[in-house]
A and B are shown apart, each in its own frame.
Chain A
């Protein structure tokens, strides 16, 4: 099967990545402290102010929805499942993918074959379809969502790291280290893992953004976090009918989603840039 080309998306400029990083940071803070900013919660209804337009800098900066709920509150609270679930899934997927890659690289032929096959099978079915099957039958709780997103993302990590590890393990310096007496865990810790770590970090950001997109897609299809708890994809879906009138209900959370995904990618690319060893011979990024 063809290998995934991991080419940097963009040359992450200093200012661009700074901007993206600050946006991510500010948003994470706001999401984490949503409870402090909006102590009344995401569900404070007030029918007298239904479909209030965004004032941007006044009260109700992002307007309200069909129940008169503050959209900013909903977007910030909605970031919790969206970001939280995706982040956990991304970490799990990276760990799982890395473990699988290590197992395939160091476990010898049979393991390589088995894990590779599993990855091939997994790749052959669109994740979203697996997610639909599982979630529509298991119900869409946090745990099944994390499970589905993890299952959907680990292959990418596995493939990237598998290729990298295969290249690294074949490098003379690994053999040289072996001759110098490094074996098993020592070899892993001293030479193999450090070589794979930067790419794992990149894979982590990649997984984060794919998981976020998938999570919100599921939310949009009604298989994500169930209302009344808000979730980005779900808010977008809930406002879709009102696009012509109260466009902000859909567009604002959607824009947050897009901005977040872009920021994660920019930051990820920047990390990749920074981790690249200048002049390194082993193709390590």
Chain B
């Protein structure tokens, strides 16, 4: 651990004498089997400040944060170092001591609000459980306190919500409830591990605002763990960058992000897609229309509701011209995937007309078949899109084999090798099964398979959302390259506006199934006409640090950008 430096020197705003609220020195974590996971981490946290921890997946962010709170999972233990609260060593905790700390000092917010709450108990019961003993024991007081807490975290109609079950609330509300349980005993440290990653951008923003407000009001020390550098940039005063179980860089957020000293940090920052990259140029306006949908509507029956229907796609018009790269953006549930499924012709229940290559497809099976040859689809989840029993080569070969012509079949192995080359996968990967691949590799396999029949159009549903930043950058590069080399026309779905900005010539914004606006990417990103688009852009994390610098700030528009 070479980069460990005394951190106190960096904590500018604090009187030197007072010990930091939480101080960690040389923290080592290993499995009970002895495999080291975290090798000596130092960090300090002061009341009323937010400490961000960033780093790629598996770098030890969660373990570090949980070790501080005393909530390491089974099978993992602290093997060295010192954790102190108010200068008092709490590294070794008896169960009672641990519970005491959890009751009085730490509040914890986990990543996924959907599973953080016990589905079997009402919100009220779970909140009451979190209250200090005095409040908990008295029914009336517990009730009043719970109401206050919910209101404090901005949950409206609190009395009604207390009687609801978690599944009856939205993700954002559930996460607020979790935060309420975390602050119920007035903790002094709040540990939030990817507390907003599972949430929509707009909801994410609200929750992070809430954390900021609580930090200021209650003088909490907040440990904010996130792989989203934008989030950290917006919210944290200080940041720790981790890699492979070590802290590679730390300091004030501005310093670290603006002037990264460490190579890794630099690479990490470079991989962040930027909202200010210029978008590629689109084809001329008279380029032929390859795919178009007119007045597309898709309803789903609502489970349990008698005859009630949910309109996932609501009278959407869409056109895709040759050479375009069209990005479809919108919040979760706005109908992006459904629209894509309609366009590739695998959604049977839609209304409206779908035209492909000048031929009307809707309701015509042969036309649909012809279209299927030329339009390929990359599924949202690369984990599930591959048959777990087929090797990579088999998966890629399958469409070629099924497509028929004998002459093609003879050349299958060579073609598979070519495709592997195209997506930059080693050829010997062909014999592996999907579970032997990493997420990025799988995503490449899925893309290779979609390219197997040399389609004219590729529709990719969230091609990078499941991937790590660095891997994500690789896939985006690949897509750009393929477009250039093969003249592919794209339709890319993403909820990440920065991804779309860098990749797409045009954008379609969806909201609740309705097409809000469609146009050239740069135009829409710089001058959105619809209110909704503007709000969507505003909610993107990282916009708070609008400084011109060599370091990317995702939301900063470039001046030289037309």
Contact = CB atoms under 8 A, between A and B. Distances in A.
B435 A182 contact: no
A178 B346 contact: yes
A177 B377 CA distance: 11
Nearest to B389: A194
Interface in B429-483: 433, 435-436, 446, 449, 452
Contact of A179 (B376, B381, B388): B376
Interface string A68-110: 0000000000000000000000000000000000000000000
B383 interface: yes
B388 A186 contact: no
Nearest to A183: B402
B346 A281 contact: no
Given A172-B384, A179-B346, A277 B402 contact: no
A186 B403 CA distance: 12
Interface string B373-386: 00011011101111
Given A172-B381, A179-B377, A181-B402, A191 B435 contact: no
Contacts of B216: none
A281 B399 CA distance: 22
B379 A181 contact: no
Contacts of A284: 388
Query: How many B residues are at the interface, by size bracket?
Result: 20 to 34
A277 B386 CA distance: 14
Contacts of A172: 379-381, 384-385
B283 to A, nearest CB: 26
A180 B399 contact: yes
A180 B388 contact: no
Contacts of B398: 177, 180-182, 190
A33 interface: no
Find the residue from A179, A277, A282 having the highest chain B CB count within 10 A: A179
Contacts of B452: 180
Contact of B383 (A179, A180, A190, A281): A281
B399 A171 contact: no
A176 interface: yes
B449 A180 contact: yes
Find the residue from B344, B381, B385, B452 having the highest chain A CB count within 10 A: B385
Given A172-B385, A180-B452, A280-B435, 20 more contacts: A172-B381, A173-B385, A175-B346, A176-B446, A179-B372, A179-B376, A181-B398, A181-B402, A181-B403, A182-B398, A186-B402, A194-B389, A195-B389, A277-B435, A278-B435, A279-B388, A281-B383, A281-B388, A281-B435, A282-B388
Interface of A: 171-173, 175-182, 186, 190-191, 194-195, 277-282, 284
